[in-house]
């Protein structure tokens, strides 16, 4: 396996141990509110510290962009880290959360790890080397249209400026597919697209650490990831659509009529 991916796996597994250690005593976990519907706990911070320690031990000069501690350092190499994707789920004991770690080199995604510690599922990818779930090679589902498709999404729970546009997309997507799912961890949602468990995914108002690893998993599994207009600026817009080529295109056609100038930007 790619040696950089191996380091990221080690960091993700270490963070997963932190998450599981606290999971049986959530009533004792200290929680703070960052903003409306956005929480951080001592678990997030502890898991993030473990990840950064692991990465710094091997790559001391690399920059880091982490959900809780923000941007650290500058340079061509940047690790994008979400130590606990699905914090609200975790704090309620809802069993859908993950660790997400990705490496960008000069702005290009190079390696990715999404780890589900409850299920012991480890999703990994390296650019040009494909994507895997544990030891199994991943491919996106081959569904040719939205007919019968299962689509993942995420509700705009923090920034609700575009809630009407999102609800329009949600209605059209519901009427055109077999169903929508909102499990609550974008990193895992994207990993599920890569694994063919869902046929597509879209969400507005994400952060880079939510989708960086998942985006590489999907492209290395043969899928497509774009912004809402079908362009490549999803790291700038933080709005994202993903799926195989045909499903992705069909999703864009449903989303397009609901896009305001702000969402196209």
Summarize pLDDT for 211-234 with one digit per residue, the tens. Answer: 999 999 999 999 999 999 999 999
Residue 261: CB atoms within 10 Å: 6
What whole-number distance in Å separates Cα of residue 135 and Cα of residue 81?
23
232: nearest Cα among 48, 142, 109, 57: 109
| Domains of the chain (ranges, CATH numbers) | 3-135 (3.30.540.10), 150-264 (3.40.190.80)
**150 has which bridge partners?**
179
Q: Give the Å distances, CA to CA, from 129 to 2, 3, 47, 110, 138.
A: 9, 12, 28, 10, 11
Report the distance separating Cα 90 and Cα 99, nearest Å.
12
- Distance separating alpha carbons of residues 263 and 247, to the nearest angstrom: 21
- Cβ atoms of 202 and 174 within 8 Å: the answer is no
Position 5 pLDDT exceeds 90: yes
Q: What phi and psi, each to the nearest 5 degrees, are found at residue 213?
A: -65, -45
- Residues 153-162: what's their mean pLDDT? 82
Residues 57 and 85: their CA atoms lie apart, in Å, by 23
What is the tens place of the pLDDT at every residue in 99-118? 999 999 999 999 999 999 99
Q: What is the pLDDT of residue 135?
A: 86
Q: What is the pTM of this model?
A: 0.95
Rounded to whole angstroms, the Cα distance separating 39 from 127 reads 33
Confidence band for 165, pLDDT divided at 50, 70 and 90: very high
Block residue for tokens 């590489």:
216
Pairing mode of beta strands 77-85, 179-181? unpaired
Tell me which residue of 109, 143, 128 sits closest to 214, measured CA to CA: 109
| Integer Cα distance of 191 and 140 in angstroms | 10
| Element at 150 (helix H, strand E) | strand 150-154
The 10s digit of each residue's pLDDT in 70-91 is 999 999 999 999 999 999 999 9
Q: Which of helix, strand or coil describes residue 111?
A: strand
What is the Cα–Cα distance from 3 to 9, expressed in whole angstroms? 10
Alpha helices in the chain (DSSP H): 3-23, 42-58, 87-92, 163-176, 186-194, 208-220, 234-237, 245-255, 261-264
35 token code pair? 């903003």
What is the pairing mode between strands 200-203 and 240-243? Answer: antiparallel
């Amino acid at each position: 396996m790619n040696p950089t991916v191996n380091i990221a796996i080690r960091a993700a597994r270490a963070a997963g141990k932190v998450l599981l250690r606290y999971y049986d005593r959530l009533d004792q976990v200290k929680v703070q509110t960052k903003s409306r519907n956005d929480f951080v706990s001592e678990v997030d911070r502890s898991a993030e510290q473990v990840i950064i320690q692991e990465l710094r031990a091997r790559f001391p000069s690399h920059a880091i962009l982490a959900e809780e501690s923000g941007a650290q350092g500058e340079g061509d190499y940047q690790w994008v880290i979400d130590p606990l994707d699905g914090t609200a789920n975790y704090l309620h004991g809802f069993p859908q959360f993950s660790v997400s770690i990705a490496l960008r080199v000069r702005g290009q995604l190079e390696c990715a790890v999404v780890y589900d510690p409850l299920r012991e599922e480890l999703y990994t990818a390296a650019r040009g080397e494909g994507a895997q779930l544990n030891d199994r090679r991943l491919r996106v589902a081959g569904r040719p249209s939205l007919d019968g498709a299962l689509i993942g999404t995420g509700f705009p729970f923090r920034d609700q400026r575009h809630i009407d546009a999102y609800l329009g997309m949600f209605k059209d997507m519901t009427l055109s597919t077999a169903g929508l799912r909102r499990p609550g961890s974008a990193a895992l949602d994207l990993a599920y697209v890569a694994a063919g468990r869902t046929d597509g995914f879209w969400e507005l108002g994400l952060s880079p650490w939510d989708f960086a690893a998942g985006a590489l998993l999907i492209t290395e599994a043969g899928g497509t990831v774009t912004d809402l207009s079908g362009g490549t600026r999803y790291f700038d817009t933080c709005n994202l659509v993903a799926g195989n080529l045909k499903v992705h295109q069909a999703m864009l056609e449903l989303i397009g009529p609901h896009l305001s100038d702000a969402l196209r930007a």
